[in-house]
Amino acid sequence: MVVFETAREILSYAFEELERAEKLKDFLLYRNAADKAFLALIVAINEYIRIVKGVTPRSHSERRRILREMGREDLRAIYSDLMKTLHEEAFYEGVYQPDEVRYAFEKVRKIIDELEEEVKKLLEKLK
């Protein structure tokens, strides 16, 4: 599915930037890599919500509220945790934790895959 592929492509760029950031000890590149990974998560979750609920969230709080309303407290909690690690700590606060960020990247990859599979199954049922 195109939007999930876009999310994977963004995440791929984030992985490349993280590798370069660690090799060059480039802190700004590290921060940008973390925020790109978070963007990939947003793209995937927004597409999931759009397909299931027919709306596209416009903010973090709206995204979390909709996930809760959908009964996806699990996804809401993971989203919030990854937002804290990637967006707040790594990007805004400049906390340098490459192992934690790399772990978060892998979580984002897994979520993109899981959401795409869930959407495919849902769309198959509707056919």
pLDDT at residue number 8: 98
Tokens of 41: 């998560």
Per-residue pLDDT tens digits for 8-30: 999 999 999 999 999 999 999 99
| In the predicted structure, residue 1 carries a pLDDT above the cut 90 | no
DSSP 75-86: HHHHHHHHIIII
Question: What CATH class does 2-126 carry?
Answer: mainly alpha
For the chain, give every domain's residue range. Answer: 2-126
Residue 99 burial (CB < 10 Å; 0-12/13-18/19+)? exposed
DSSP 8-state code for residue 70 = T
